[in-house]
Amino acid sequence: MASNRKVLMLPGDGIGPEVVGQVKRVMDWMEKRGLAGFEVTEDLVGGAAYDVHGTPLADSTLEAAMASDAVLLGAVGGPKWDALPFEAKPERGLLRLRKEMELFANLRPALVFDALVDASTLKPEIVRGLDIMIVRELTGGIYFGEPRGIEDLGWGERKGINTQVYTTTEIRRVARVAFDLALKRGGRVCSCEKANVMESGVLWREEVQKVHDDEYPEIELSHMYADNAAMQLVRDPKQFDVIVTDNLFGDILSDEAAMLTGSLGMLPSASLGAEDEDGRRRAMYEPVHGSAPDIAGKDMANPLATLLSFSMMLRYSFAMGDEADLLDGAIRKVLDGGMRTADIMQKGKARVSTTVMGDALLDELDRRAA
């Protein structure tokens, strides 16, 4: 089928190729069924790229990513590359991709599937039906701010420095992503910072409020200090719809929200860049988990986080909401039917491999499309 959907696959290291492999099967299924065509290319990233090119992200791979409509990444890293210098580490490849593609908005849904409600360490009544979205600013803030470094003060004393910096533009563009998502969801945004102790937090609060008042008055906007948000997320997570926050707080709050769902193998993410004149947004989709070297190559990995990331790609890069719903529904059904990879195994359920989970999903898709 002819396609204008250019997808770059970067399976990466460890379990990356195994979980991305299941997405390829679903893409093939969609093509065969005439639902969608994709122009897929595949390349190396992380340790796999370092082994071939001596760098975790070759310039040619970056160019391919820039020219694609969406990137699907598996995972990077592993003990084989742990001793490499900082700039050559697999994770640097991922950070460079995010930076060069200007992926400033990281979307992390925290969704609790009914079948997995007991996987959470929180009481079922606290998390049942949970469906929140955390939007984390990804290219600014303290992880990139200057000055940074470690200074030798000269008398056996050293100083470590990082700087939290945000501009109006950076705050406004990520706020708009959060408001746009809220329009399609529950209509509520909670913005989190530490305006009580940080000037950058004061600016963040003021700018988010301005974007709201000028452009999204219909959205219910609240502001919360990030430390309180951390508490509220475990006390009563369902009070939230969309949370928008900076890079540092987003890193922490999104991991905390992730654990409400109980399983790393179930967590998708999307990272979005600015829209160009044609309305095309650079975008990368990836599971939240890492390369899981302890189970790599054993056909044990849970592919659902990557499949759910692909579903986000369909929804946010290709406006294919119906196909995304079809895939999400099939995943839900397979879980309801009792299929479990080892990481989400529960008593009385069927423990299956990565491949068998993929088989079950394709069977369910077949049933739904019949």
Catalytic residue IDs: 143, 194, 227, 251, 255
C-beta of 294: minimal distance to ligand NAD in Å? 5
Q: Contact between 291 and ligand NAD (CB under 6 A)?
A: yes
Find the binding residues for ligand NAD in span 189-248 (CB under 6 A): none
Options 292, 314, 334, 339; binder of ligand NAD; rule CB under 6 A: 292
Find the binding residues for ligand NAD in span 259-288 (CB under 6 A): 264-265, 286
* Residue 262 CA to its chain's centroid (Å): 16
Q: Contact between 290 and ligand NAD (CB under 6 A)?
A: yes
**How many residues line the site for ligand NAD (CB under 6 A)?**
23
DSSP structure class, residue 337: T
Task: Tell me the two tokens of residue 3.
Answer: 């396609």
Find the binding residues for ligand NAD in span 298-317 (CB under 6 A): 301-302, 305
Nearer to ligand NAD, 15 or 283 (CB): 15
Nearer to ligand NAD, 75 or 219 (CB): 75
For 129, other C-beta atoms within 10 Å of its C-beta total: 12
| Per-residue three-class SS string for the chain | CCCCCEEEEEEECCCHHHHHHHHHHHHHHHHHCCCCCCEEEECCCCHHHHHHHCCCCCHHHHHHHHHCCEEEEEECCCHHHCCCCHHHCHHHHHHHHHHHCCCCEEEEEEECCHHHHHHCCCCHHHHCCCEEEEEEECCCHHHCCCCCEEEECCCCCEEEECCCCCCHHHHHHHHHHHHHHHHHCCCEEEEEECCCCCHHHHHHHHHHHHHHHHHCCCCEEEEEEHHHHHHHHHHCHHHCCEEEECHHHHHHHHHHHHHHHCCHHHCEEEEEEEECCCCCEEEEEEECCCCCCCCCCCCCCCCHHHHHHHHHHHHHCCCCHHHHHHHHHHHHHHHHCCEECHHHCCCCCEECCHHHHHHHHHHHHHHHHC
Q: Which part of the chain contacts ligand NAD (CB under 6 A), choosing from 213-221, 242-250, 253-261, 290-298?
A: 290-298
C-beta of 158: minimal distance to ligand NAD in Å? 25
Nearer to ligand NAD, 56 or 140 (CB): 56
Exposed, middle or buried by CB within 10 Å (0-12, 13-18, 19+), for 102? middle
C-beta of 103: minimal distance to ligand NAD in Å? 13
Q: Contact between 251 and ligand NAD (CB under 6 A)?
A: no
Nearer to ligand NAD, 301 or 308 (CB): 301
Nearer to ligand NAD, 20 or 211 (CB): 20
Q: Contact between 78 and ligand NAD (CB under 6 A)?
A: yes
Nearer to ligand NAD, 47 or 273 (CB): 47
C-beta of 46: minimal distance to ligand NAD in Å? 7
Options 295, 307, 352, 365; binder of ligand NAD; rule CB under 6 A: 295
C-beta of 311: minimal distance to ligand NAD in Å? 16
Q: Contact between 23 and ligand NAD (CB under 6 A)?
A: no
C-beta of 266: minimal distance to ligand NAD in Å? 8
Residues of this chain that bind ligand NAD (CB under 6 A)? 15, 19, 75-78, 91, 94, 264-265, 286, 289-295, 301-302, 305, 341, 343
